[in-house]
């Protein structure tokens, strides 16, 4: 392996490599960097010579990273972010004149806070832009690496690269169509007797808190359907005998809109706590701190 000296490295090449490792495509990287594909291909050739490694190899329509490149993909974003902060210095964030883009990863069920967040920010920072991304394991990792400014997720998330503040907690409830037969004699047995709707909200694996709890009671729930987003749940429930057990924050508004019945979970289940996370590497950077305050303020409007 080459012993690379810092004086040999063109930092612009590392910026290109960071984008290539994310996009796994010369053409998409070129578009992101506003360069020509041929310029990116030339940069990749120089990077291969610098690292004495192929870095990215063609695999169908995409490019596959080598073992060396996978290692670089883990560390390079953090290094570049720290270098940017070092070069930029401790500039104070000024909302009224900023054109900064803030990126927030969150579950889709917090959609109700977005209008108030945008209105709040638009009043004091008209040039600021917000990008939303789905919550998941990858988002947690990318927040720690500095690719997101904030993330909303379960308070149970533990990562040395994150710092969090609690937004609130919400009880678990069961939703079903009006007149659902399970609600006539509501009990844990009635809950288990009907098929359930499940939301595939993230790439996290393993049984969730509901299935762990009912397993301890000697019961199991039959999953009748799995859907990708909470926004699809209410119309499905309104026209089927499926039940849905979720924290109240996820469905309260759409349940009212579709006239769904809501009942307490017929067994003990701890409330779900949500927290707002930032990267520990961001420290007390004024822009991130300002954005976190805006998100936390908007979160007070989430239905309890």
* Residue 272 near residue 153 (C-beta atoms within 8 A): no
* Cα gap 230→12, rounded to integer Å: 42
Which SS3 state, helix, strand or coil, does residue 270 take? coil
How is residue 118 written in tokens? 């945008």
* Residue 235 near residue 258 (C-beta atoms within 8 A): yes
- Each residue's pLDDT, cut to its tens digit, for the chain (304 residues) gives 456 666 777 888 899 999 999 999 899 999 989 999 999 999 999 999 888 899 999 887 778 999 999 999 888 988 888 787 777 666 688 999 999 999 999 998 888 888 889 999 999 999 999 999 988 888 888 898 888 999 999 998 888 889 999 998 999 999 999 999 999 999 999 999 999 999 875 444 556 788 888 888 888 889 999 998 888 999 999 999 999 999 988 887 889 999 999 999 999 999 999 999 999 887 778 899 999 999 999 988 775 5
* Cα gap 93→80, rounded to integer Å: 20
The crossing angle, in degrees rounded to 10, of helices 26-33 and 11-23 is 120
How is residue 184 written in tokens? 């006539």
Q: What angle do CA 217, 209, 165 make, to 5 degrees?
A: 145
* Residue 108 near residue 176 (C-beta atoms within 8 A): no
Q: What is the model's pTM?
A: 0.65
Its sign, for the CA torsion 231, 234, 240, 245, is positive
Each residue of 40-66: pLDDT tens digit?
999 999 999 888 899 999 887 778 999
How is residue 288 written in tokens? 């991130």
What domains lie within the chain, and their CATH numbers? Answer: 6-88 (1.10.10.10), 101-166+278-299 (3.40.190.10), 172-270 (3.40.190.10)
């Amino acid at each position: 392996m080459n012993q690379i000296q810092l004086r040999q490295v063109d930092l612009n090449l590392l910026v290109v490599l960071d984008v290539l490792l994310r996009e796994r495509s010369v053409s998409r990287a070129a578009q992101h960097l506003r360069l020509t594909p041929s310029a990116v291909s030339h940069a990749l050739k120089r990077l291969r010579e610098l690292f004495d490694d192929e870095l990215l190899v063609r695999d169908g329509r995409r490019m596959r990273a080598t073992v060396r490149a996978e290692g670089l993909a883990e560390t390079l974003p953090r290094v570049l972010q720290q270098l940017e902060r070092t070069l930029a210095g401790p500039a104070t964030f000024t909302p009224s004149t900023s054109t900064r883009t803030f990126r927030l990863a969150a579950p889709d069920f917090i959609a109700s806070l977005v209008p108030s967040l945008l209105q709040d920010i638009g009043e004091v920072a008209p040039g600021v832009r917000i990008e939303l991304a789905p919550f998941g394991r990858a988002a947690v990792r990318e927040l720690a690496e500095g690719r997101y400014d904030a993330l909303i997720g379960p308070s149970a998330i533990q990562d040395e690269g994150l710092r969090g503040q609690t937004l609130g907690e919400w009880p678990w409830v069961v939703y079903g169509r009006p007149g659902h037969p399970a609600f006539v004699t509501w009990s844990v047995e009635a809950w288990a007797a009907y098929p359930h709707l499940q939301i595939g909200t993230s790439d996290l694996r393993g049984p969730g808190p509901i299935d762990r709890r009912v397993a301890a009671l000697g019961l199991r729930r039959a999953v009748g359907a799995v859907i990708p987003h909470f926004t699809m749940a209410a119309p499905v429930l309104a026209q089927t005998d499926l039940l849905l057990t979720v924290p109240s924050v996820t469905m309260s508004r759409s349940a009212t809109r579709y006239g769904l019945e809501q009942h307490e979970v017929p067994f003990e289940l701890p409330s779900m706590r949500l927290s707002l996370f930032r990267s520990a590497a961001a420290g007390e950077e004024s822009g991130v701190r300002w954005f976190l305050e805006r998100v936390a303020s908007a979160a007070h409007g989430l239905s309890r």
